[in-house]
Amino acid sequence: MMKEDFLAYVWKFQKFKRGEFITTCGLPLKIFSPGQQNFNSGPDFFNAKLTIDDQLWAGNVEIHVKSSQWYQHSHQNDSNYDTVVLHVVWEHDTDVYRIDNTTIPTLEIKNIVHQESLVRYRNLFSNKHDWIQCERVFSDVPSIVITNWFERLYIERLQQQTIFIKQEFLEVNKHWEALLFRLLCKNFGMKVNSDSFLSISRSVDFSVIKKCCSEKRTLEALLLGQAGLLKGEKDSNYFVELQKEYFFIRHKFNLINDGVICPKFFRLRPSNFPTIRLSQLAELYRLKGNIFSEVIMAKTKQDIYKIFDVRASEYWDMHYNFGNSNIKHTKKLTKNFMDLIIINTIVPLQFYYRQYYQIEGVESCLQLMASVQKEENSIVRKFNKLGLNISSALESQALIHLKSNYCSLSRCLDCSIGNSIIKGCNK
């Protein structure tokens, strides 16, 4: 089945057989510029330049599989389409008129499309049961195409991440330190408890966090208490101490935690238990205080490692939860965990900060990501089976974005890899 996005691709790159073009009315057509593709509402291409019967035209181009779709989409009643100078269709089944009843010239292209491009397109979209459409020919794509596409994909992913960051920035009244705290909370919760930890950060004004940083157990009691982890009774002196401290803090600052999502322990490794992660976060702010300026200026992963070189409080050396003790083991933030903080917090925040103040330096964000080890997940593993050999977090993040925003949506014609396959640019 023919799709409109392929016709747009054909028009954009002029994938036609050689020869003169003739409109459906029998008039000679010459194309000087296909125009600029429009991804919003309105005609598909703006500012095309062409001649019809030796008359020069500059205007817009609309594309459909069948010309009758002009009426199905009610373009005849939309003044935005009055400037269309050419209707490009796969199959011409009716004449089309403007509001003033003048005929819009139509170019039918089903018999003039470059045959090899059409065959490659149909082959690409015939693999309905493959993991991705181009799975069988992925290894034929030149490595330079993939490398260049990765950088663009990752920047797209950063731009996508800044939507959430901007929203949080506005909610904390453009307070950079408060924004960083929220982002760190979210990512200290990792995938399982990210929403829970974010709700904890939203339940307390950052000014209260700052006031609770000076004493050793105060901030830990605050975070664990807001998380709902200090309720009831436990056979632990440390639990009782934190519970008393939280009771005092809660009344002092009129805190509530009704909207906090209860953190989960189920199916988590003990090192990722919310008790451990919240204690580590509390120690980070107790020891480091204001860290935004350090984070925003960090250029290497070693810079980040120094900032986040912290451990959970001493009680957790022999515990993962309140109660039963375990073999003594210091619960420090590992480099693998800090790499995740770089991927999910530091670089997106640096990118947004530069974007907000219109500061150059996107390259430094890319370099930092390129220095971090790749993530291990099912998407990365499956792409590696197709012949990729990636090593950096920039590449693994690009692959996640590629799969979610292109492959899964069959946006092959918007993808450099898909374009390369249809063009026939092999290694």
pLDDT digits (tens, 9 = 90+) for 34-61: 999 998 989 999 999 999 999 999 999 9
Question: Nearest Cα to 94, choosing from 102, 83, 84, 103?
Answer: 103
* Stated length of the chain: 427
Q: What is the tens place of the pLDDT at every residue in 348-404?
A: 999 999 999 999 989 999 999 999 999 999 999 999 999 998 999 999 999 999 999
| R_g of the chain, CA atoms, integer Å | 29
* Per-residue pLDDT at 426 exceeds 70: no
Q: At a CB cut-off of 8 Å and minimum separation 6, what does 115 contact?
A: 17
Band (pLDDT 50/70/90 cuts) for residue 313 is very high
Q: What is the tens place of the pLDDT at every residue in 192-239?
A: 999 999 999 999 999 999 999 988 899 999 999 999 999 999 889 999
Q: What is the tens place of the pLDDT at every residue in 222-281?
A: 999 999 999 999 889 999 999 999 999 999 999 999 999 999 999 899 999 999 999 999
- Contact status, residue 303 vs residue 341, Cβ threshold 8 Å: no
Q: What is the pTM of this model?
A: 0.87
What DSSP letter does each residue of 108-170 carry, written as one string? E-TTTB-HHHHHHHHHHTT-TTSSSTTTTTGGGS-HHHHHHHHHHHHHHHHHHHHHHHHHHHH
| Domain residue spans of the chain | 4-113, 172-370
Distances in Å between the alpha carbon of 347 and those of 152, 166, 327, 351? 15, 14, 36, 6
- Contact status, residue 116 vs residue 424, Cβ threshold 8 Å: yes
